[in-house]
């Protein structure tokens, strides 16, 4: 396998499942370095997830797909408000085209997702409009929305409801910290790194006219994330407009390559993004360095899951091959597996991860730590196993499209959050904490 093929492969969706499957095979042989696997408990996790689906949605077909849109569906005394839907309705009432409405929400979601890494348990956001306090991913989403509404990501005097290269490149750390209400008493993990990600996004947009330049990009009309819809329209086949998930993934993984920190794993001088060496694969005979790498592309996949809803609902595209996307290896999904005993952290790693100044007995590791890499790898494949267990109990004609996205939403992510709150009510933290730099969940 050539180096260039390695790079291309490790950036592909295919590689995520295949490489995590290799780690899973090691787990089945008892050859993980940091965890033990108890597969007998997978069905119990599936039971728990199904109980939440029944409680909140009655059945899996009623569960919306996992994505950023969910952060903007908030409960109020009058019922659930869809903040995205409210904006789209208002724009249309002001004669904004359906296509431009879709572009604007792509702009919002791309910015919102990129700053959505773990916020920590101490940060919160007070929203004046809803008179409510939000934490973690909901808080990050609402804060990004309010900055978007204020035109913080737009350089256009005629349209504040956009994100563009020129404005993002000029965004300062102080701008983001102020917009997210960060103070010494209200700390947000990695706030400066989040601001740098958005400046990197501005760079990616300016360097990617093929995907983000639009049909009329010029100095007075800078590149925007939403212009990816114009690119996708040229990839369509048939009626309605049909594109493959691979077309969308190309934009995300190639067009946004400049976004990710260069300090991460590189191969032949190429930064791979969310790809890490996994010690469990080093036991393979004659394993070379590239063969020990496990890709996750978690934030890229979270962005893709999130944009799918905009692309299909507002852009009116049909997207095929969505089953290539994987479950997301983040702390709620992974925490569920640890809290319910599917994965157990080895004693010596548990002790190594103790933070004496925290006093909560929850081990903590850097995102690059072998413990976290192995945990995330197992999370990807075990989410598939949970989905398979649930699917086996549903008649084939009742299995909805984007099934895994509904399992995540209905779902494993919610189950991870709820069991964490039950077991650790003060912090609501997962059973293993990741030292967040603002760029990794």
Instruction: Specify the pLDDT at position 288.
Output: 64
Percent of the chain at pLDDT > 90 equals 70
306 lies in the same domain as 342: yes
Instruction: Please give the average per-residue pLDDT across 71-98, as a whole number.
Output: 90
Instruction: Please give the average per-residue pLDDT across 408-419, as a whole number.
Output: 94
Q: Is residue 175 part of a domain?
A: yes
Inform me whether the pLDDT recorded for 217 exceeds 50. Answer: no
Confidence of residue 234 (pLDDT cuts 50, 70, 90): confident
How many structural domains compose the chain? 2
End residue of a domain, out of 210, 233, 256:
233
Instruction: Please give the average per-residue pLDDT across 190-200, as a whole number.
Output: 91
Instruction: Specify the pLDDT at position 287.
Output: 55
Instruction: Specify the pLDDT at position 371.
Output: 97
End residue of a domain, out of 188, 207, 233:
233
Q: What is the mean pLDDT of the chain?
A: 90
Inform me whether the pLDDT recorded for 408 exceeds 90. Answer: yes
Q: For residue 207, give every residue at least 6 positions away whose Cβ sits within 8 Å of its Cβ, in sequence order, or none.
A: 258
Inform me whether the pLDDT recorded for 219 exceeds 50. Answer: no
82 lies in the same domain as 133: yes
Instruction: Please give the average per-residue pLDDT across 214-233, as a whole number.
Output: 79
Beta bridge partners of 74: 81
27 lies in the same domain as 130: no
214 lies in the same domain as 273: no
Burial 296-307 (b: 16+ CB within 10 A, else e): bbbbbbbbbbbb
Confidence of residue 438 (pLDDT cuts 50, 70, 90): low
400 and 406 Cβ atoms separated by less than 8 Å? yes
194 lies in the same domain as 339: no
End residue of a domain, out of 233, 252, 284:
233
401-386-345 Cα angle (round to 5): 145
Instruction: Please give the average per-residue pLDDT across 328-341, as a whole number.
Output: 96
Instruction: Specify the pLDDT at position 137.
Output: 84
141 and 116 Cβ atoms separated by less than 8 Å? yes
Residue 274 belongs to domain spanning: 1-63+267-313+323-441
Closest CA to 411 of 77, 60, 84, 94: 60
Confidence of residue 208 (pLDDT cuts 50, 70, 90): confident
Q: Is residue 249 part of a domain?
A: no
Instruction: Specify the pLDDT at position 271.
Output: 82
408 lies in the same domain as 298: yes
34 lies in the same domain as 139: no
Q: Is residue 254 part of a domain?
A: no
Instruction: Please give the average per-residue pLDDT across 175-182, as a whole number.
Output: 94
Dump pLDDT digits (tens) for 286-306: 556 788 999 999 989 999 999
Which DSSP symbol is given to 427?
T
Closest CA to 259 of 273, 241, 276, 238: 273
Confidence of residue 285 (pLDDT cuts 50, 70, 90): very low
52 and 411 Cβ atoms separated by less than 8 Å? yes
HEC string for 301-337? HHHHHHHHHHHHHCCCCEEECHHHCCCCCCHHHHHHH
Instruction: Please give the average per-residue pLDDT across 8-35, as a whole number.
Output: 95
275 lies in the same domain as 424: yes
Q: At 179, phi and psi to the nearest 5?
A: -65, -30
Confidence of residue 261 (pLDDT cuts 50, 70, 90): confident
Locate tokens 């409960």: which residue? 75
Closest CA to 270 of 3, 19, 2: 3
Q: Tell me the pairing of strands 124-127 and 132-135.
A: antiparallel
Instruction: Please give the average per-residue pLDDT across 51-75, as a whole number.
Output: 92
Within 115-164, where are the H helices?
A: 136-149
Instruction: Specify the pLDDT at position 291.
Output: 85
SS3 237: strand
Instruction: Specify the pLDDT at position 159.
Output: 94
Locate tokens 């329209």: which residue? 233
C-alpha to C-alpha distance for 106 and 314, rounded to whole angstroms: 10
Locate tokens 């956001």: which residue? 125
Q: For residue 106, give every residue at least 6 positions away whose Cβ sits within 8 Å of its Cβ, in sequence order, or none.
A: 225, 226, 228, 229, 307, 310, 311
Instruction: Please give the average per-residue pLDDT across 185-208, as a whole number.
Output: 91
Instruction: Specify the pLDDT at position 218.
Output: 47
CA distance readout (Å), 155 to 107, 159, 173, 179, 252: 13, 8, 17, 17, 23
Inform me whether the pLDDT recorded for 1 exceeds 60. Answer: no
Q: Is residue 241 part of a domain?
A: no
Beta bridge partners of 409: none
Instruction: Please give the average per-residue pLDDT across 206-221, as a whole number.
Output: 73
Inform me whether the pLDDT recorded for 246 exceeds 90. Answer: yes
Locate tokens 């197992």: which residue? 378
Tell me how crowded residue 7 is: count the other CB atoms within 10 A of its CB. 19
169 lies in the same domain as 59: no
Rounded CA Rg of the chain: 21
Inform me whether the pLDDT recorded for 129 exceeds 50. Answer: yes
Which DSSP symbol is given to 325?
S
Tokens at residue 195, please?
Answer: 């601001």
138 lies in the same domain as 161: yes
Q: What separation, in Å, do the N-terminal and C-terminal C-alpha atoms of the chain show?
A: 31
The residue ranking higher by pLDDT, 7 or 111, is 111
32 lies in the same domain as 120: no
Instruction: Please give the average per-residue pLDDT across 193-217, as a whole number.
Output: 86
C-alpha to C-alpha distance for 174 and 195, rounded to whole angstroms: 9
Instruction: Please give the average per-residue pLDDT across 194-216, as a whole number.
Output: 87
Percent of the chain at pLDDT > 70 equals 93
Beta bridge partners of 294: 276
DSSP states of 73-104 = EEEETTEEEEHHHHHHHHHHHTT--HHHHHHH
Q: Is residue 252 part of a domain?
A: no
Instruction: Specify the pLDDT at position 84.
Output: 95
Confidence of residue 356 (pLDDT cuts 50, 70, 90): low
C-alpha dihedral, 401 to 405 to 407 to 412, nearest 10°: 180
Q: Is residue 296 part of a domain?
A: yes
* DSSP H/E element including 265: none
Q: Is residue 39 part of a domain?
A: yes
Instruction: Specify the pLDDT at position 253.
Output: 93
* DSSP H/E element including 347: helix 347-352
Instruction: Please give the average per-residue pLDDT across 379-408, as a whole number.
Output: 93
80 lies in the same domain as 202: yes
Instruction: Please give the average per-residue pLDDT across 148-169, as a whole number.
Output: 95
Tokens at residue 106, please?
Answer: 């792509």
> What are the counts of helices (DSSP H) followed by strands (DSSP E) for the chain?
18, 14
Inform me whether the pLDDT recorded for 209 exceeds 90. Answer: no
Q: Is residue 251 part of a domain?
A: no
């Amino acid at each position: 396998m050539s180096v260039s093929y390695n790079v291309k492969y490790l950036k592909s969706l295919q590689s995520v499942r295949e490489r995590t499957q290799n780690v899973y095979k090691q787990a089945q042989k008892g050859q993980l370095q940091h965890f033990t696997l108890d597969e007998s408990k997978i069905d119990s996790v599936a039971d728990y997830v199904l109980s939440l689906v029944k409680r909140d949605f009655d059945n899996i077909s009623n569960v919306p797909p996992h994505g950023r849109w969910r952060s903007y569906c908030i409960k109020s005394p009058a019922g659930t408000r869809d903040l995205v839907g409210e904006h789209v309705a208002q724009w249309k009432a002001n004669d904004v085209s359906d296509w431009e409405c879709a572009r604007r929400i792509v702009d919002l979601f791309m910015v919102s997702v990129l700053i959505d890494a773990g916020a920590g348990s101490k940060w919160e956001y007070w929203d004046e409009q809803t008179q409510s306090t939000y934490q973690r991913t909901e808080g990050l989403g609402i804060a990004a929305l309010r900055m978007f509404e204020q035109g913080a990501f737009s350089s256009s005097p005629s349209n504040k409801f956009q994100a563009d290269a020129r404005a993002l490149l000029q965004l300062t750390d102080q701008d983001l910290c102020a917009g997210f209400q960060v103070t010494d008493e209200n700390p947000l993990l990695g706030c400066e790194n989040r601001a740098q990600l958005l400046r990197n996004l501005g760079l990616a947009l300016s360097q990617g006219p093929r995907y983000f330049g639009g049909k009329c990009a010029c100095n007075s009309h800078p590149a925007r994330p939403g212009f990816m819809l114009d690119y996708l329209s040229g990839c369509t086949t048939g009626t309605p407009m049909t594109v493959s998930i691979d077309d969308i993934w190309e934009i995300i993984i190639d067009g946004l390559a400049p976004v990710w920190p260069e300090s991460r794993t590189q191969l032949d001088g190429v930064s791979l993004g969310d790809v890490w060496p996994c010690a469990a694969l080093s036991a393979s005979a004659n394993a070379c360095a590239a063969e020990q790498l496990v890709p996750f592309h978690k934030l890229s996949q979270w962005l893709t899951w999130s944009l799918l809803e905009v692309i299909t609902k507002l852009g009116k595209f049909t997207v095929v091959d969505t089953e290539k996307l994987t479950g997301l290896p983040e702390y709620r999904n992974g925490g569920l597996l640890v809290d319910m005993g599917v994965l157990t952290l080895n004693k010596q790693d548990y002790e190594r991860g103790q933070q004496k100044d925290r006093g909560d007995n929850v081990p903590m590791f850097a995102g690059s730590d072998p413990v976290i890499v192995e945990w995330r790898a197992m999370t990807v494949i075990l989410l598939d196993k949970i989905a398979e267990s649930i699917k086996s109990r549903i008649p084939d004609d009742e299995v909805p499209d984007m099934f895994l996205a509904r399992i995540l939403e209905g779902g494993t992510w919610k189950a991870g959050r709820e069991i964490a709150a039950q077991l650790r009510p003060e912090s609501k933290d997962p059973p293993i904490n990741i030292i967040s730099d603002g760029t990794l969940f």
